[in-house]
């Protein structure tokens, strides 16, 4: 009796689980699919009433319009240089700092780390104008360096790498020290290879954030050939009259490279980031 009851309960639980997870799949996927198919609608189809999920007639007109209005390829190039540059440099600096905070004893380490954490609490809007003036003073306005440098490290990355390095066994660097290696060699040849998953997931995190960023690149660039993709596409959304068709196509274009990257590297996105399961 009892075991039958248990079995019944278990299968109900299982059914509930499948039902729930599937509902969430639908809720997640439907808007994204809607965006994809709607970017092939005509202008009047996008705003027709009653609305249709799928296009009445499939058209590439919106994509053609976007391609003719803005230089998509040069903007993509800029975005790759910007997001890629930030990613490479930031991962390097973040892991160095994270390593020092996790594995080395030095005066003021606790205080310095708390100060770094404080920077996570500063909304960009607050420092926007002083930052602009500063980048100008450094003569870096509208240059790749000026775009990349302010983002070349992040509190989040340091925090994440610190927690990762803390998990590694102590014996590693001791063996290095016995061999007479310098601190940097220990870090470079012994520790770094051990944290590839964390590095990859941090890299993806930086790449994603900077790819999607809007206000920051708009602020620090002034020529259209230094505009990033998401910032460039923002220009398409009309000032007085919004054109919904091109807006959808533009949104799809800005998402597509990341989505494609995601499909091929999802293991790193999902599992890599998981190593950021930061422990205090």
Q: Does 276 bind other proteins (CB under 8 A)?
A: yes
- Is position 20 an interface residue for other proteins (rule: CB under 8 A)? yes
**CA distance linking residue 269 with residue 260, whole number of Å:** 12
CB of 141 to other proteins, least distance (A): 6
Cα angle 144-146-152, degrees, rounded to a multiple of 5: 95
Q: Does 268 bind other proteins (CB under 8 A)?
A: no
Choosing from 15, 60, 238, 264, the residue that interacts with other proteins (CB under 8 A) is 238
**Between helices 196-212 and 155-167, what is the axis angle to 10°?**
170
72 vs 248, beta carbon nearer other proteins:
248
Alpha carbons 162 and 158: distance in angstroms, whole number: 6
Per CB under 8 A, contacts with other proteins among 148-207 are 149-150, 152-153, 155-156, 158, 166-167, 182-184, 187
- Other C-beta atoms lying within 10 Å of the C-beta of residue 147: 26
From the CB of 177, what's the least distance to other proteins, in Å? 9
What is d(CA 13, CA 7) in angstroms, rounded to the nearest whole number?
A: 10
Sign of CA dihedral 23, 28, 31, 33: negative
For residues 97-136, which are near other proteins according to CB under 8 A? 97, 99-102, 104-109, 111-112, 115-116, 118-123, 125-134, 136
59 binding other proteins? (CB under 8 A) = no
User: Considering only residues 248-267, where is the footprint of other proteins by CB under 8 A?
Assistant: 248, 251, 254-255, 258-259, 262, 266
Asked if 157 contacts 206 with a C-beta cutoff of 8 angstroms, the reply is: yes
Closer residue to other proteins (CB): 18 or 60: 18
Part in contact with other proteins (CB under 8 A); list of ranges 54-62, 76-84, 188-196, 227-235: 227-235
Q: Give 73 or 238: the residue with its C-beta nearer to other proteins.
A: 238
Q: CA triplet 31, 254, 50: central angle to 5 degrees?
A: 35
Q: Which is nearer to other proteins, 73 or 271 (CB)?
A: 271
What does each C-alpha distance from 38 to 42, 47, 244, 256, 257 come to in angstroms? 9, 10, 10, 14, 18
Residue 31 binds other proteins, judged by CB under 8 A: yes
């Amino acid at each position: 009796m009892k075991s039958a009851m248990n079995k019944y309960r278990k299968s109900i639980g299982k059914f509930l689980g499948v039902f729930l997870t599937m509902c969430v799949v639908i809720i997640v996927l439907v808007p994204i699919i809607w965006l994809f198919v709607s970017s092939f609608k005509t202008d009047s189809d996008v705003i027709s009433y009653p609305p249709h999920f799928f296009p009445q007639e499939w058209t590439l007109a919106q994509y053609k319009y976007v391609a003719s209005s803005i230089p998509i390829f040069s903007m993509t190039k800029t975005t790759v240089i910007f997001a890629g540059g930030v990613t490479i440099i930031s991962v390097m600096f973040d892991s160095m700092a994270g390593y020092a905070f996790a594995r080395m004893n030095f005066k003021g380490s606790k205080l310095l780390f708390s100060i770094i954490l404080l920077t996570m609490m500063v909304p960009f809007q607050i420092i926007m104008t002083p930052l602009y003036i500063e980048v100008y003073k450094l003569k870096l306005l509208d240059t790749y360096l000026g775009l990349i440098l302010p983002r070349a490290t992040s509190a989040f990355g340091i925090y994440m790498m610190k927690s990762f390095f803390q998990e590694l066994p102590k014996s590693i660097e001791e063996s290095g020290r016995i061999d007479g290696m310098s601190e940097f060699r220990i870090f470079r040849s012994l520790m770094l290879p051990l944290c590839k998953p964390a590095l990859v997931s941090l890299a993806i995190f930086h790449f994603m954030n900077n790819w999607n960023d809007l206000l920051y690149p708009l602020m620090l660039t002034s020529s259209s050939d230094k505009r990033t993709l998401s910032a460039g596409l923002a220009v398409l959304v009309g000032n007085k009259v919004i054109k919904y068709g091109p807006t959808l196509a533009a949104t799809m274009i800005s998402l597509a490279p990341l989505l494609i990257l995601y499909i091929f590297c999802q293991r790193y996105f999902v599992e890599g980031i998981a190593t950021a399961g930061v422990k205090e």
